[in-house]
Amino acid sequence: MPAFESIALIKWLHFILLSMAGGGAIVALLLSGFEDEREDLRGLAATIWKRTATWGFRLAVLVGIGALLIHMKNGNNLLLERYMHIKLTLVLLLLACSEMAPKALAVGKRGAAMAALLLFLLTSFVMYNQGIFGRKPKPMPVPLALTEPDGTMHADR
């Protein structure tokens, strides 16, 4: 039986919270389009955003910080990676937009909510494709070959 790994549980919880927040953001934005036409739906988008997206993003940030600390404790400092700086910048902007979105949705404005959803998608893209933001590998030196007059090759002497 494999040993229990806390980082696996933390990553799973982080993913679940982000899925909840992202799904709540999409549902709230879809509902906000119907609020103008239907009186019974007025204010529902702001409520859904506040209860699912905002809390999902808040808790995901806390769990993400916990995962980062566990990685650092295990000797893997992710803060040295270039993609992590990009991710953390996007996460801070995402959190700010997510906090502004419920009040804006309550008065019928979707700008902050759309920006939060865009930042969520950008952050997901950066994490999924983190290899394109990494360091470029150093070129390997190729040993020189010497050719003898008869055409045979010998390794560098």
Measured CA to CA, the distance from residue 74 to residue 58 in angstroms comes to: 25
Measured CA to CA, the distance from residue 19 to residue 89 in angstroms comes to: 20
Three-state SS for 1? coil
For the segment 19-77, what is each residue's pLDDT rounded down to a tens digit?
Answer: 999 999 999 988 888 767 777 677 788 899 999 999 999 999 999 999 888 888 888 87
Helices 6-32 and 111-128: crossing angle in degrees, nearest 10, is 150
Measured CA to CA, the distance from residue 129 to residue 118 in angstroms comes to: 16
User: Which domains does the chain possess?
Assistant: 6-134 (1.20.120)
The pLDDT of residue 147 is 61
Three-state SS for 135? coil
pTM, full prediction: 0.74
Three-state SS for 137? coil
The pLDDT of residue 38 is 76
Closest among 45, 4, 6 to 26, alpha carbons compared: 45
